[in-house]
């Protein structure tokens, strides 16, 4: 039953205690307006919705629908607080079938903008218009218009300067708006959507596309073709899902979409089930890409728990958890995902692009890029690598300063040399079996004498000045300290050293970059392109140079030397995800530290990498450099210490 059918429509909400808990501010930025207006158009039964945006929604947002429209009386009611046509009784609140129900959105939006609504209800021959400016009704009159409703929101926060000031760059706001449009488009595939941004049509989605087609429209065919589709119906729960193979994992959860009865929801039970389903198939720090659509009896959950309506309270959370988990698990078992344990991008399995085609594309791209005229310094700021970058130069001495009393930091040249050949990293990837026995007389391979595990010793010969250290399980280094022994996590320590070096090095100018022979192309969404644009100076600082390539891709031209062994595309993906995760209030300095942390993690030796004795020595030698500065990037210890007295106590020598 849709409560919107029938004649008497908008009413003031009775004083429902349940609705009170959730009262609050829902309009935070242009994208929140878009979300509310789309919800209203969907609730009005629209089959075609057009969205118009100017200046990232800061100047204008307009949503036009061909839904049921409003009468003259309703038009006057709808902008008043707590008026809705969607709840008739308190009972309705426990089985919500509409996107809206709080009767708050239009009132909140009209209080902070100049809002014009034109509406004509179905079957009526009269259209009406009202104009409300910051809560004040300016105009109300009859007008001419087709059936349906148009809501126009101009100059958002014009009367709340503090809020207005807080709005971000147009591209950023656009990104958030696109995200809201994507959510509406994924969850309502039967509705046609058209999006116009600054007079250009940027999205045109015909009615009755499949969900997969829509995902492909927003996130590209590359991702869409990799998705596994799941369809299930069980114990009153209908589940439709599109889940990516583990190799498509991301660095944040922004790619996990959950819709419950077509409403976008963030739910810890479902997310947990997803994590469980992927357990063992990818690193635990990664997030799977999933689009999950659940259809459930509205009595089974409560969506009136948060003003933005993006959370639910389940009556039986375990049931939904186990249903999602088993659906995903069974799918993975059938698909035999086991060989794809690597976190690197799998380049196989994409029948539609042959190697030949790929080469042709790359060639084409290289040609196209060669013919681009050189940039001048007055070129637009976007992706201009010549632009001076201000991160970390001046005024930031304290932040970047190295903690007192630590050993002298090496010079910029030394650091660059270090990054070029981090602890002789290239040697680290040579499988043990390839190392000729006796090749290096201080390397001792226990496997060859039946130990079963790799043990590498360093410091054998007498001339070495550092205490001896050994590598155990290709994971830990054990060494002598002044008053006992230390057990070091090789990855954690190396990551830590790299982080400290990077933090220091970045204050002295962009990282050393290496030009790629052929640019790598990276597919991006509009939102991601906007993020990259906004973080251009940060990229420059990291030695990454990119240019837009077509509508939905960027070309990567140069890349930091220290990541020479990393996969460019997967690093860029993670970088974009990380940028997306950063809270809007974050300063560029904080942002760069997070990125450096990620780079350090990628560039550091991994657990499982065998190390040569030089590498072990080099790591041990540098441990003092990082020991003194206490905050480890991931808050994880790099080293465990046992003092002689600990040992004595353990061995009951005392
Ligand atoms: P809610 O959606 O929670 O009811 P809103 O403030 O968003 O609250 O809208 C108030 C009322 O205005 C709605 O209940 C609906 O009756 C009417 N309304 C808003 N937008 C539209 C629209 N696009 N078409 C028809 N009616 C609308
Ligand atoms: Mg609404």
DSSP-assigned states of every residue in 362-406: HHHHHHHHHTSPPP-TTS-STT-TTS---TTSSS-HHHHSPPTTP
Q: Which of 189-203, 257-271, 449-463 has the lowest mean pLDDT?
A: 449-463
Q: Ligand 1 pocket: which of 36, 38, 40, 96 to mutate (most atoms <8 Å of CB)? A: 40
Distances in whole angstroms, Cα of residue 548 to Cα of each of 323, 532, 553, 588: 42, 10, 6, 22
pLDDT above 60 for 12: yes
Distance (Å, rounded) from C-alpha 292 to C-alpha 647? 53
The answer to whether the CB of 609 is under 6 A from ligand 1 is no
Whole-model pTM: value is: 0.62
User: What is the spatial distance between Cα 272 and Cα 321, in angstroms, rounded to a whole number?
Assistant: 8
CB of 40 closer than 8 Å to CB of 84: no
Nearest CA to ligand 1 atom 16: 85
- From CA 257, how far away is CA 353, in angstroms rounded? 27
Round to whole Å and give the CA distance between 385 and 513.
12
Ligand 2 centroid to Cα of residue 39, in Å, is 6
* Model confidence pLDDT, tens digit, residues 418-476: 776 655 433 332 233 333 333 333 333 333 333 334 445 554 433 445 677 888 988 89
Closest ligand by atom to 103 CA: 1
84 within ligand 1 shell (Cβ under 6 A): yes
* CA-closest candidate to residue 471, choices 457, 451, 461: 457
Mutation to probe ligand 1, out of 49, 79, 106 (largest number of atoms < 8 A from CB): 106
For residues 114 and 394, the model is more confident at 114
- Nearest atom (ligand 1) to Cα of 99: 2
CA distance 101 to 82: 9
How many angstroms separate the CA atoms of 173 and 35, rounded?
A: 13
User: Ligand nearest 4 Cα, by number?
Assistant: 1
pLDDT tens for each residue of 26-50:
798 999 999 999 999 999 999 999 9
Percent of the chain with pLDDT over 70: 75
Whether the predicted pLDDT of 615 surpasses 90 = no
Strand ranges in 411-475 using DSSP code E only, listed in sequence order: 455-458, 469-472
CA of 84 to the centre of ligand 2 (A): 8
Q: Report the separation in Å between the CA atom of 54 and the middle of ligand 1, taken as the mean of its atom positions.
A: 23
Tokens of 168: 């971000």
Is the pLDDT at 493 greater than 80, yes or no? yes
In contact, 148 and 94? CB cutoff 8 Å: no
484-489/476-481 β-pairing: antiparallel
Q: How many CB atoms lie within 10 A of CB 563?
A: 20
Question: Residue 625 — very low, low, confident or very high, per pLDDT cuts 50/70/90?
Answer: low
Q: What is the DSSP letter of 253?
A: G
**Residues 569, 520 contacting (CB under 8 angstroms):** yes
Ligand in closest contact with the CA of 50: 1
Question: Would the pLDDT of 386 be above 80?
Answer: no
CB 453 within 8 A of CB 473: yes
282 CB neighbour count, 10 Å cutoff: 21
Backbone CA torsion sign across 613, 614, 616, 617: positive
pLDDT reported for residue 87: 77
What atom of ligand 1 comes closest to residue 105's alpha carbon?
Answer: 6
The answer, yes or no, to whether any atom of ligand 1 lies below 6 A from the CB of 9, is yes
Residue with the smallest CA separation from ligand 1 atom 17 is 78
Helix (H, G, I), strand (E, B) or coil at 156: coil
- Find the 86 Cα to ligand 2 centroid distance in Å: 9
pLDDT tens for residues 372-385?
A: 333 333 333 222 22
Using the mean position of ligand 1's atoms as its centre, give its distance from the Cα of residue 185 in Å: 19
Beta strand pairing status for 469-472 and 476-481?
antiparallel
Residue 4 pLDDT greater than 70, yes or no: no
Neighbours of 302 (CB within 10 A): 17
311 confidence band (pLDDT: 50, 70, 90): very high
Separation of first and last alpha carbons in the chain? 79
Residue whose token pair is 């009153």? 236
Bridge partners of residue 250, in order along the sequence: 287
Positions of E strands within 182-311: 192-197, 200-205, 228-234, 237-243, 256-260, 263-264, 290-295, 301-302
Identify which of 92, 100, 129 to mutate to test ligand 1's pocket (most ligand atoms within 8 A of the CB).
Answer: 100
In ligand 1, the atom with minimum distance to the C-alpha of 10 is: 16
**292 against 429, higher pLDDT:** 292
**Ligand 1 touching residue 639 (CB < 6 A):** no
- Reduce the DSSP state of residue 168 to 3 states and report it: coil
pLDDT at 452: 37
Residue reference for tokens 């004509």: 120
Cβ–ligand 1 contact at 50 (below 6 Å): no
Distance from the CA of 563 to the center of ligand 2, in angstroms?
48
Is-contact 195 51, C-beta < 8 A? yes
Q: Band of the pLDDT at 259, cuts 50, 70, 90?
A: very high
Q: How far apart are CA 153 and CA 59, in angstroms?
A: 8
Contact 112, 163 (CB under 8 A): yes
**8 Å CB contact between 422 and 562:** yes
- For residue 580, pLDDT over 70 is answered with yes
**Are 260 and 314 contacting, i.e. CB atoms less than 8 angstroms apart?**
no
Cα dihedral value 556, 559, 565, 568, nearest 10 = -20
């Amino acid at each position: 039953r849709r409560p919107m059918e029938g004649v008497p429509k908008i009413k003031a909400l009775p004083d429902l205690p349940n609705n009170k808990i959730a009262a609050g501010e829902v309009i935070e930025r242009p994208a929140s307006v878009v979300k509310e207006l789309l919800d209203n158009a969907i609730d009005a039964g629209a089959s075609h919705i057009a969205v118009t945006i100017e200046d990232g929604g800061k100047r204008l947002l307009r949503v036009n629908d061909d839904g049921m429209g409003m009468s003259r009386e309703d038009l006057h009611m709808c902008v008043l607080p707590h008026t809705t046509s969607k709840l008739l009784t308190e009972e309705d609140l426990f089985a919500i079938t509409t996107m809206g129900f709080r009767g708050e959105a239009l009132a909140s939006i009209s209080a902070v903008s100049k809002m014009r609504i034109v509406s004509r209800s179905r079957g009526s021959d009269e259209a009406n218009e009202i104009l409300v400016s910051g809560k004040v009704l300016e105009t109300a009159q009859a007008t001419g218009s087709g059936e349906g409703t148009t809501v126009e929101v101009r100059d958002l926060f014009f009367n709340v300067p503090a809020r207005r000031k807080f709005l971000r760059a147009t591209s950023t706001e656009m990104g958030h708006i696109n995200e809201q449009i994507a959510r509406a488009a994924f969850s309502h595939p039967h509705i046609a959507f058209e999006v116009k941004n600054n007079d250009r049509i940027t999205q045109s989605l015909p009615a009755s596309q499949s969900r997969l087609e829509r995902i492909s429209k927003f996130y590209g065919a590359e991702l869409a073709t990799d998705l596994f589709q799941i369809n299930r119906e069980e114990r009153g729960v209908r589940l439709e899902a599109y889940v990516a193979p583990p190799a498509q994992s991301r660095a944040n959860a922004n790619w996990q979409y959950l819709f419950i009865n077509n409403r976008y929801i963030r739910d810890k039970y479902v997310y947990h089930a997803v994590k469980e389903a992927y357990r063992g198939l990818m690193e635990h720090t990664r997030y799977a890409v999933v689009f999950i659509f659940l259809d459930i009896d509205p009595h089974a959950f409560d969506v009136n728990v948060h003003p933005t309506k993006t959370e639910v309270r389940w009556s039986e959370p375990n049931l939904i958890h186990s249903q999602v988990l088993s659906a995903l698990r069974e799918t993975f078992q059938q698909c035999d995902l086991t060989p794809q344990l690597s976190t690197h991008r799998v380049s196989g399995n994409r029948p539609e692009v042959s190697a030949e085609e790929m080469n042709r594309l790359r060639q084409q791209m290289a040609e196209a890029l060669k013919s681009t005229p050189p940039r001048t310094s007055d070129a637009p700021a976007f992706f201009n690598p010549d632009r001076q970058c201000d991160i970390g130069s001046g005024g930031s001495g304290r932040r970047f300063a190295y903690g007192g009393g630590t050993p002298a930091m090496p010079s910029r040249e030394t650091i660059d040399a270090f990054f070029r050949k981090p602890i002789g990293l290239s040697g680290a990837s040579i499988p043990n079996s390839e190392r000729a026995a006796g090749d290096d007389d201080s390397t001792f391979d226990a496997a060859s004498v039946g130990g079963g595990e790799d043990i590498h010793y360093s410091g054998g010969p007498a001339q070495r000045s550092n205490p001896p250290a050994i590598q155990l399980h290709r994971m830990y280094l054990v060494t002598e300290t002044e008053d006992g022994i230390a057990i070091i996590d090789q990855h954690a320590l190396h990551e830590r050293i790299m982080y400290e070096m990077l933090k220091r090095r970045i204050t002295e100018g962009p990282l050393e970059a290496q030009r790629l022979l052929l640019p790598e192309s990276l597919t991006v969404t509009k939102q991601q392109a906007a993020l990259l644009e906004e973080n251009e100076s940060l990229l420059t600082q990291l030695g990454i140079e990119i240019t837009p390539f077509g509508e939905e891709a960027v070309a990567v031209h140069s890349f930091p030397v220290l990541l020479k062994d990393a996969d460019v595309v997967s690093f860029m993906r993670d970088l974009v995800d990380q940028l997306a995760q950063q809270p809007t209030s974050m300063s560029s300095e904080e942002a760069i530290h997070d990125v450096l942390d990620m780079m350090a993690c990628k560039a550091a030796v991994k657990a499982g990498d065998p190390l040569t004795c030089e590498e072990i020595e080099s790591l041990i030698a540098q441990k003092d450099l990082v020991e003194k500065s206490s905050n480890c990037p991931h808050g994880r210890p790099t080293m465990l210490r046992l003092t002689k007295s600990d040992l004595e106590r353990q061995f009951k020598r005392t």
